[in-house]
Amino acid sequence: MSGESVYQREVYGKTLVELGRENKNIVVLDADLSGSTRTALFAREFPERFFNFGVAEQNMMAAAAGLASCGKIVFASTFAMFATGRAWDQVRNCICYSNMDVKIVATHAGITVGPDGATHQALEDIALMRVIPNMRVFVPADGPQTRDAVMAALHLPGPVYIRLGRDKVPSHAHPAAFVPGVAETMADGTDIAVFACGIMVRHALEARQTLLQEGIQCAVINIHTIKPIDQAAIILAVQRVKGVVICEEHSVIGGLGGAVEEVLAGCGYPVKIARIGVHSRFGQSGSPADLLKEYRLAPADIAVEARQLLTS
Amino acid sequence: MQINELETKARQVRRLIVQMLEKAGSGHPGGSLSSADIMSVLFFHVLRHDARRPRDPNRDRFHLSKGHCCPVWYAVLSECGYFPQEELWNLRRLGAMLQGHPDTHVPGVDVASGSLGQGLSVALGMSLAAKIDARTYRVYCLLGDGEIQEGNVWEAAMAAAHYRCDNLCAVLDYNGFQIDGRVEEVMNIEPIADKWRAFGWHTVVVDGHSIQQLVDAFAKVKGVGGKPSMIIAKTVKGKAVSFMEHVVDFHGRVPTKEEAARALQELSDER
């Protein structure tokens, strides 16, 4: 089911170098985390088009808007917590309001940041970015999809937020090419539809295998674009099943779940929904595996919710 | 432009500020009037720009970090021919091009402004873009004195010096007042010239209402290499309208019809 495990951020850094060779207009910014976000790969190749802002994310985001106003395509990277939390006002007022060509590629999102604990585990970033007009939000599921998302962002005028994790993730066999705003059906099923993004796509596929042995058929839909969300795919999927499980490594408030429920609330189709995500809690230190269990984000937790939907 | 022509222009800019704010019914006259001389010198003398080509990649850039004082920006832009003067009379109305804080729908405005403390970073980005492309344009940025209490300003100050942005010139409109009162009482910013110097900026202090001093300062800092420049312009809030000068209330209160008429009389060229 899954292929080689890679760091999404490693893929990001390499993709930047590749794009930087072809497109001289690309400028990359970081805030003292270029080793972690892997923008250092670009910095090494194109030092004249890379700027380290030090530990100053607000300055980086507003300066990104200034660079973009002069025709540059700017990739700005740091950890998801600081890109979206610390610099939210700059992202909203300088980048998005002026519809600037700034691609915010944030790494270390979610609980699987692990031992660094709550201050570094962004569980609100999708909500914070999705709410801003003009902003698009991509949450690629693995390395290959990260490459596709970065490429797609380059060719879309205006701001984009791309959410990446810290850990290595196994690569999927993707049934479809990455098209922004078009959900990817990873597997079909008639009992439960699982909507997932990021690492939760893999968890959903693992849960699907478990449930198959019990005769439960799950569709798994990778909602790699949270905004604009694929309303048609969501509505089509729920009409074929008896229940929906939404899975995200993010707060259940305002993220993928919020976005899917906004679609479902408006479509008038009655369906039971279970939510896998962080329920208004802060994270904490621990190994990624332990944290996934503690916060009920593991494949087994998805299977529990699916079974419950079919029996309740 | 000659000094006396610039003085005449500044009076016209002040008249437009008073007129548009009286019509709008809300807005920020105090800081618009205090920066009218700085903005007139910039737009009618210093900046290399052409209203017919607002997207010219080689144009000098200007960014207003204290976005609430956009009436002065709108006034100089319309005087330069970026858009017809009639637009000024729709300021702050639903659907108007001229919003209460400036955005990119206005020809001549490259990035929106309004949330304080971010503009110097925007200008820094413009300055870095010039360096990458080896373009010779210069970047100017006007900041408010209350505004520089924002931490983001000092992040930008540090970075502009680090990257030796000698194509960047900031101006501080030091009128001494912010909404809640005197800057020194709300949150003291002194010793302000020392702070900019300590951050690695070439720093000069001028009378922000002396056209001659402003013209000279802008000419001089052009020749400064290896570091950004800060012109601290000592100004008077509400300058040139007697009953608005030094009155904190006029930070965010517009003149009534009667007050506007009196102000226009004081700002007349035939006095």
Going by the DSSP 8-state scheme, the letter that residue A280 receives in this structure is S
Give the mean model confidence (pLDDT) for residues B132-156: 98
Q: Please tell me which residue in A4, A10, A57, A262 is annotated as part of the active site.
A: A57
| Cβ–Cβ below 8 Å for A90 and B151 | no
User: With 60 as the cut, is the pLDDT of residue A1 above it?
Assistant: no
Q: Tell me, yes or no, whether A143 and A213 share the same domain.
A: no
Q: Which of A138, A171, A204 is the last residue of a domain?
A: A171
Nearest partner of B55 among B3, B109, B130, judged by Cα: B109
Q: Looking at chain A, which residue has its C-alpha nearest residue B121?
A: A63
Q: Looking at chain A, which residue has its C-alpha nearest residue B133?
A: A25
Shortest Cα distance, chain A CAs vs residue B228, angstroms: 15
Among candidates B114, B132, B151 on the partner chain, residue whose Cβ is nearest the Cβ of A27: B132
Cα distance between the two ends of chain B: 22
What local confidence, expressed as pLDDT, does residue A312 receive? 78
Nearest partner of B263 among B59, B20, B4, judged by Cα: B20
Burial code (b: 16+ CB inside 10 Å, e: under 16) for B96-130 equals ebbbbbbbbebbbbbbbbbbbbbbbbbbbbbbbbb
Q: Looking at chain A, which residue has its C-alpha nearest residue B111?
A: A98
**pLDDT-based confidence at B139, cuts 50/70/90?**
very high
A53 touches B: beta carbon within 8 Å: yes
**A–B interface: beta-carbon pairs under 8 A:** 107
What local confidence, expressed as pLDDT, does residue A3 receive? 84
Could you tell me the two tokens for A68? Answer: 């973009």
Q: List phi, psi (to 5°) of B215.
A: -60, -45
Distance CA B141, CA A46 (A): 29
A246 touches B: beta carbon within 8 Å: no
Strand, coil or helix: A80:
helix
User: With 90 as the cut, is the pLDDT of residue A2 above it?
Assistant: no
Chain B residues with a Cβ under 8 Å from any Cβ in chain A: 57, 61, 63, 103-104, 110-115, 117-119, 121-130, 132-133, 151-152, 155-156, 158-159, 162-163
Q: Do the domain assignments include residue B271?
A: no
Distance CA B261, CA B271 (A): 14
Q: List phi, psi (to 5°) of A28.
A: -120, 135
Among candidates A64, A97, A99 on the partner chain, residue whose Cβ is nearest the Cβ of B125: A64
Q: How far is CA A212 from the centre of its chain?
A: 27
Distance CA A33, CA B198 (A): 26
Give the mean model confidence (pLDDT) for residues A169-173: 95
Q: Which of A107, A137, A171 is the last residue of a domain?
A: A171
The enclosing domain of A192 has a CATH number of: 3.40.50.920
Q: Is B223 exposed, middle or buried (0-12, 13-18, 19+ CB in 10 A)?
A: exposed
Q: Do the domain assignments include residue B134?
A: yes
| Cβ–Cβ below 8 Å for B122 and A62 | yes
A127 touches B: beta carbon within 8 Å: no
Q: Tell me, yes or no, whether A52 and A151 share the same domain.
A: yes
| Cβ–Cβ below 8 Å for A98 and B156 | no
Q: Tell me, yes or no, whether A167 and A79 share the same domain.
A: yes
Share of chain B above pLDDT 70, in %: 100
Please report which helix (H) or strand (E) contains residue A184, including its range: strand A184-187
Distance CA B146, CA B69 (A): 13
Residues of B in contact with A92 (CB under 8 A): 115
The enclosing domain of B222 has a CATH number of: 3.40.50.970
Does residue B112 come out as left (phi exceeding 0), alpha (psi in the -120 to 50 range) or beta?
beta
Q: Do the domain assignments include residue B154?
A: yes
| Cβ–Cβ below 8 Å for A70 and B126 | yes
Q: Which of A133, A149, A171 is the last residue of a domain?
A: A171
Q: Do the domain assignments include residue A246?
A: yes
Torsion angle (degrees, nearest 10) of CA A88, A94, A95, A101: -150
| Cβ–Cβ below 8 Å for B132 and A90 | no
Q: Tell me, yes or no, whether A113 and A187 share the same domain.
A: no
Q: Do the domain assignments include residue B98?
A: yes
Q: How far is CA A63 from the centre of its chain?
A: 24
Among candidates B57, B126, B158 on the partner chain, residue whose Cβ is nearest the Cβ of A66: B126
Residues of A in contact with B119 (CB under 8 A): 62
For B21-33, how does the pLDDT look when each residue is reduced to its tens digit (9 = 90+)?
A: 999 999 999 999 9
Which residue type is seen at B254? V
Residues of B in contact with A46 (CB under 8 A): none
Shortest Cα distance, chain B CAs vs residue A163, angstroms: 24
| Cβ–Cβ below 8 Å for A51 and B163 | yes
Among candidates A49, A67, A71 on the partner chain, residue whose Cβ is nearest the Cβ of B57: A71
A72 touches B: beta carbon within 8 Å: yes
What local confidence, expressed as pLDDT, does residue A226 receive? 98
Total domains in chain A come to 2
Total domains in chain B come to 1
For A21-37, how does the pLDDT look when each residue is reduced to its tens digit (9 = 90+)?
A: 999 999 999 999 999 99
Interface test with B, best of A25, A29, A55, A70 (most B CBs within 10 A): A70
Q: Do the domain assignments include residue A113?
A: yes
Q: How far is CA A199 from the centre of its chain?
A: 9
A71 touches B: beta carbon within 8 Å: yes
Distance CA B141, CA B139 (A): 7
Average pLDDT, chain A: 97
User: With 90 as the cut, is the pLDDT of residue A268 above it?
Assistant: no
Q: Do the domain assignments include residue A9?
A: yes
Q: Do the domain assignments include residue B178?
A: yes
Which residue type is seen at A273? I
Q: Tell me, yes or no, whether A60 and A201 share the same domain.
A: no
Distance CA B266, CA A140 (A): 63
Residue B104 pairs in a beta bridge with none
- Identify whether the C-beta of residue B176 lies closer than 8 Å to the C-beta of residue B184: yes
* SS3 labels along chain B: CCHHHHHHHHHHHHHHHHHHHHHHCCCCHHHHHHCHHHHHHHHHHHCCCCCCCCCCCCCCEEEECCHHHHHHHHHHHHHHCCCCHHHHHHCCCCCCCCCCCCCCCCCCCCCCCCCCCCHHHHHHHHHHHHHHHCCCCCEEEEEECCHHHCHHHHHHHHHHHHCCCCCEEEEEEECCEECCEEHHHHHCCCCHHHHHHHCCCEEEEEECCCHHHHHHHHHHHCCCCCCCEEEEEECCCCCCCCCCCCCHHHHCCCCCHHHHHHHHHHCCCCC
The enclosing domain of A32 has a CATH number of: 3.40.50.970
Among candidates B122, B129, B162 on the partner chain, residue whose Cβ is nearest the Cβ of A94: B122
Neighbours of B174 (CB within 10 A): 24
Q: Which domain holds residue B66?
A: 3-266
**pLDDT-based confidence at B3, cuts 50/70/90?**
very high
Q: Which domain holds residue A215?
A: 174-307
* Cis peptide upstream of residue A133 (ω within 30 degrees of 0): no
For B216-262, how does the pLDDT look when each residue is reduced to its tens digit (9 = 90+)?
A: 999 999 999 999 999 999 999 999 999 999 999 998 999 999 999 99
Q: Tell me, yes or no, whether A15 and A157 share the same domain.
A: yes
| Cβ–Cβ below 8 Å for A97 and B163 | no
Share of chain A above pLDDT 90, in %: 97
Q: Looking at chain B, which residue has its C-alpha nearest residue A91?
A: B118
Mark whether A57 is an active-site residue. yes
* ipTM higher than the 0.95 cut: yes
Distance CA B268, CA B271 (A): 6
Start-end of H helices in chain A: 8-22, 34-37, 40-45, 57-69, 80, 88-90, 125-130, 143-155, 200-213, 231-238, 256-267, 288-294, 299-311
What local confidence, expressed as pLDDT, does residue B270 receive? 80
For A237-255, how does the pLDDT look when each residue is reduced to its tens digit (9 = 90+)?
A: 999 999 999 999 999 999 9
Q: Do the domain assignments include residue A312?
A: no
Q: Do the domain assignments include residue A6?
A: yes
Give the mean model confidence (pLDDT) for residues B3-23: 98
Among candidates A27, A51, A62 on the partner chain, residue whose Cβ is nearest the Cβ of B152: A62
User: With 70 as the cut, is the pLDDT of residue B271 above it?
Assistant: no
Interface test with A, best of B61, B150, B152, B167 (most A CBs within 10 A): B152
Torsion angle (degrees, nearest 10) of CA B48, B52, B55, B56: -50
Q: Looking at chain A, which residue has its C-alpha nearest residue B108?
A: A69
Distance CA A161, CA A109 (A): 12
